[in-house]
Structure 1
Amino acid sequence: MNIIKNKKIWFSLSLIVIITGMVLGMIRGYNLGIDFTGGTLIEIQMNEYVEADEIREITDEIDKSATINHIGETKDIIQIRTTKNLNNEERINLFNIFKEKYNLEDSQPLRSEQFGPAMGKEIQNKALLSVLVATVGMLIYITFRFQLSYGISAILALTHDVLFVLAIYAIFRIPLNSPFVAAMLTVVGYSINDTIVIFDRIRENMKNAKRNAYEEVAETSIKQTISRSINTSLTTLLAIVALYVFGVESIREFTFPLLSGIMIGTYSSIFIASPIWVLIKGKKGNI
């Protein structure tokens, strides 16, 4: 299989997913979590550890996008986060359902408060600023270490990764929250590492290549490094899958975007970044 010659196929596949996600995101909106929209947080002292799925049978009646976490040494405290702003009466009614089902005392709701949308707006702004600073820093570093064409190709591939993951979240209506932002920044750093490995091999192979043999050099370099990229990603994914399967819900909120991001980042390092570099070099020459 010639990866560079089939670049239109890879570009088309990515564009279909990204455009579908963007259209659905504009039509239906993204499923923003409490960190971005504001909402209600309630903590209840249970008499024992209760499975999240059992708790969700109650909370789904109020908010299907609510998140459930277990805290405390014995995990007998449940933390409920809803994207809906529940007033005092609604919070009392919710606790009364738990009280009746699990034979709780009146003193067992430990915490109950609301988060306004202003806090969510601040998180969004800081998240965008973090991504922007990281992107500019990487562009400067890669341009200094390699050439501008490598830097542009890497940043476009990273943009592809973020948009692709956002598209998945829009298509499947997965809640977006602050762990997603942390996971995306991790994925950006991981993905750029894979891309630089391939670019470094391209730079080495270009020293002995014919003039303007960009496509041939890129194809050779990918084939020389593809096993390393895939094996590295697989070992990382094994650890993340274990966290996702055996972790609590708050851990899953962080590991799911990591899982999807690392797979997409590996894909983009091989099938997107190098073909973009070939296109840029073919049009602009020595940049």
Structure 2
Amino acid sequence: MRLRLVPQDTNWDFMQYRHWTFGASLVAMVGAIAIWLIVGLNFGIDFLGGTTIRTDSTQAVDVGAYRDAIAPLELGDVVISEVFDPTFAPDQHVAQIRIQAQEGAESVTPETIAAVEAALQGVDPSITFPSVESVGPKVSGELITTALIAVAASLGAILIYIWLRFEWQFSVGAIAALIHDVVLTIGVFSLLQIRFDLATIAAILTIIGYSINDTVVIFDRLRENLIKYKKTPLIDVMNRSVNETLSRTLMTSGTTLLALVALLVLGGDVIRGFVFAIFWGVIVGTYSSVYVAKNVVLMLGVDRDPKQPDAGTQFGAVDA
């Protein structure tokens, strides 16, 4: 006896509220873009250029005292934040100090870093500096360009693959769903001001791969059903296809989310932004596979010629 997350004969009408869900997706995308433009992203050191110093001490972090100690060095924009993590020891207090790249310099000089460390040790003699990361403005600019190219190239490759694998309507629907996922992820990062760095770009690429995998599974079942049910309305065939793949979708998404929750709680602050991006992406990616990709295909329609006895779709002869 096999365990099933949903009954085998499930027949939920997923497309019943397609207008509301698609409209909500459009509103969410517009809102995400607006937040992005107004608030901006909390870029990490990878994209801004500068230096991040991580401190570790047995004494409680006093952000005000740290700031007062660094202020005489006149380093411009300095962001000091305490880092909390359930894996830290009771007497372990961690802070992160971000110093902007100095004008006319590729990165903060070793002398400046030494001066900052000396100033902080004057406040707390027990303080240590487990890591120091520096990125120059020129390098950070190149990283932004490379990241954009990576995301655009992945979307372009997926567009071509889906077009060849299925048909152009399916390709447009898949890309619309992926753009939806990427925009909402960036919007959430902007709203919550979570650090946006190269790890986040890697997470976005992972989200794209996860989302398109779920979309292709449903598309493949949809193609089979369009051949099998030639005269059934397209919307009914879509509902049938989603119901038939629902157990697989829930099992895959559910087990992935369980692992991600464990990483969010126990993984530490270093990978928290990366894990959160994937966690959020799994949720919106599962949603968009049904309520964005399928909505777009439904609006574009599929050529199904009833005069041809062997034609269920215009791609009916394509080998799976």
> Do both share a fold (TM > 0.5)?
yes
- 1:11 is aligned, of 19, 22, 37, to 22
**Alignment deviations for residues 88-131 of structure 1 (CA, whole Å, 9 cap, x no partner):** 55862454324542435xxx657757433222211111111111
2-structure distance, mates of 1:128, 1:56: 38
Match of 1:215 in 2: 235
Specify the alignment match of 2:158 in structure 1. Answer: 138
The structure carrying a bigger helix percent of its residues is: 1
Aligned to 2:301: 281
Distance 2:301 2:99 in 1: 48
Distance 1:269 1:113, change over 3 A: closer
Between the aligned residues of both structures, percent identity stands at: 31
1:24 aligns with 2:35: yes
**What residue is the counterpart of 2:124 in the other structure?**
101
Is 1:118–2:138 an aligned residue pair? yes
1:3 Cα offset (Å) = 2.4
Return the letter of the residue paired with 1:127: A
Q: Does 1:63 align with 2:74?
A: no
Alignment partner of 2:171 out of 148, 151, 158: 151
Secondary structure of the residue that 1:63 maps to in structure 2?
strand
Counterparts of 1:27-38 in structure 2, within 5 Å, are: 27-38=38-49
Deviation at 1:198, TM superposition (A): 0.5
When the two structures are superposed, what TM-score results if normalisation uses the length of structure 1? Answer: 0.82
Matched, 1:260 2:280: yes
Q: TM-score, normalised by structure 2?
A: 0.74
Mapped partners of 1:25, 1:112: distance in 2: 29
Give the CA deviation at 1:84.
Answer: 2.5
The answer on whether the counterparts of 2:162 and 2:170 sit within 8 Å (CA) in structure 1 is yes
CA gap 1:92/1:265 in 2 versus in 1, 3 angstroms: same
Q: Does 1:127 align with 2:143?
A: no
Larger Rg, first or second structure (1 or 2): 2
1:158 Cα deviation after fit: 0.6
**Closer, same or farther: CA 246–110 of 1 in aligned 2, 3 Å:** closer
> Which consecutive residues of structure 1, in runs of 5 or more, have no partner in the other structure?
70-75
Q: Say if 1:239 and 1:110 are closer, same or farther in 2 by CA, change over 3 A.
A: closer
Q: Give the root-mean-square deviation of aligned CA atoms.
A: 3.3
**C-alpha separation between the residues in 1 aligned to 2:130 and 2:282?**
38
For residue 50 of structure 2, the aligned residue among 39, 43, 59 is 39
For 1:175, the aligned partner's letter is: R
Question: Could you tell me whether the CA contact under 8 Å between 2:218 and 2:242 is conserved in 1?
Answer: yes
SS in 2 for 1:250: coil
Superposition map of 1:241-260 within 5 A: 241-260=261-280
Q: What's the counterpart of residue 181 of structure 1?
A: 201
Change (3 A) 1:228 1:58: farther
Summarize the alignment of residues 55-94 of structure 1 with structure 2, pairs less than 5 Å apart: 55=61, 57=63, 61=67, 62-64=78-80, 80=96, 82=98, 84-85=100-101, 92-93=115-116
Measured against aligned partners, the alpha-carbon deviations of 1:173-208 in whole angstroms (never above 9, x if no partner) come to: 222111110000011001111001100110010012
Supply the distance in 2 between the matched residues of 1:4 and 1:162 (Cα, whole angstroms).
23
What's the counterpart of residue 73 of structure 1? none
Aligned-pair CA distance for 1:55: 5.0
Q: Report the Cα distance in structure 1 between the residues aligned to 2:247 and 2:79, rounded to whole angstroms.
A: 45
CA distance in structure 2 between the aligned counterparts of 1:226 and 1:30, rounded to whole angstroms? 35
> How far has the Cα of 1:83 moved from its partner?
5.4
The match for 1:164 among 180, 184, 189 is 184
For the 8 Å contact 1:212–1:282, the answer to whether it is kept is no
Deviation at 1:266, TM superposition (A): 0.7
Aligned length, in residue pairs: 273
Q: Distance in 1 between matches of 2:254 and 2:62?
A: 33
Provide structure 2 residue ranges, at least 5 long, that are not aligned to the other structure: 1-11, 68-77, 86-91, 103-107, 305-312, 316-320
Structure 2 letter corresponding to 1:32: F
The amino acid of 2:115's aligned partner reads I
